[in-house]
Amino acid sequence: MESPMTHTTTRIIREEHGALSAMLRSIVLLLAQHRRQETLPDFGVLRAMLFYVDEFPEKRHHRKESELLFPKLRARTPLSRELLDRLDEDHALGERRIRNVEHALLGFEMMGEARREAFEKALGQYVDFYLSHMAMEEREILPLAERVLTQEDWADLDEAFGANRDPLTGFEPDEEYRQLFTRIVNVVPAPLGLGAAS
C-alpha cells in the first residue's frame, strides 16, 4: 500500500510544482507554434509569465523550501544531505537563471528574428533545469519529509506554505496581482487558471 501523503505542505508543494511545470510547458508549446507559423509571440504575455515565475515560485515556493523545509529535514535526519545541498544551490541560482531568460526575451523583443533561437534555447534550458529539480524533490524529499518530520514541524510548515496562495493553484489573486493573472490565464490552457479548484 502506498504511504499516505496527507500533510497540507506536501500537497501545496506538489500543486505549486504542477502549476509551474504546466506554465513552463505551455510557454515552450507557444514558442514552437510561433516558430512554425513564422510569427512573433505576444511579448507582453511572455513577460507576464516570466514575472509570475519570479514573484511566486522564486520568492515564495523555493525560498520557503530552503529557509524552512530543508533546515527541518537536516535537523531530523542525516539522510539526503547531498541532495538537499544541491537543491539549495538550485534555489540560490534560480533568481539569476530567470533573469537570464528575461534578458534573452528582451533581446528577442528588441532584435526580432535574429534572437528567436537564443531565447528558445535559454528558456528550454531553464525549463529542463526546473522540471528535473521539482521531480527530484517529489521523488526524494517529500517522501523523506513524510517519514521524519514531527507534528510541530508540520504545523510550522503548513502555516508558512499555506500563506503562498499561488493563483495558478486556484486561489483568487490579490487585487495587485489581478491584472497579471488575467493576462496569463487568457493564454494558458486548462486546467490552469483562476477557475481551477483550490
Residue 102: helix, strand or coil by DSSP? Answer: helix
| Least CB distance to Fe ion at residue 87 (A) | 6
Question: Which listed range, 36-44, 111-119, 136-144, 180-188, lies at the site for Fe ion (CB under 5 A)?
Answer: 136-144
CB of 34 to Fe ion, least distance (A): 29
Closer to Fe ion at the Cβ: 115 or 133?
Answer: 133
Q: Which of 10, 23, 48, 65 contacts Fe ion by CB under 5 A? A: 65
Is 137 a binder of Fe ion (CB under 5 A)? yes
Q: Is 102 in the site for Fe ion (CB under 5 A)?
A: no
Q: In angstroms, what is the minimal distance from the CB of 181 to Fe ion? A: 20
Q: 65 vs 102, which CB is nearer to Fe ion?
A: 65
CB-based contacts of 109, cutoff 8 Å, min separation 6: 43
Would you say 106 or 136 has its CB closer to Fe ion? 136
Contacts of 195 by beta carbon, 8 Å cutoff, 6+ apart: none
Q: Which is nearer to Fe ion, 67 or 172 (CB)?
A: 67
Distance, in Å, from the CA atom of 13 to the CA atom of 110, rounded to the nearest integer, reads 36
Contact 65, 13 (CB under 8 A): yes
In the chain, what is the greatest distance between 2 CA atoms, to the nearest angstrom? 56
**Closer of 65 and 153 to Fe ion (Cβ):** 65
Q: From residue 157, how far is each of 9, 41, 61, 75 by CA, in Å?
A: 6, 39, 12, 14
Residues that bind Fe ion (CB under 5 A): 62, 65, 137
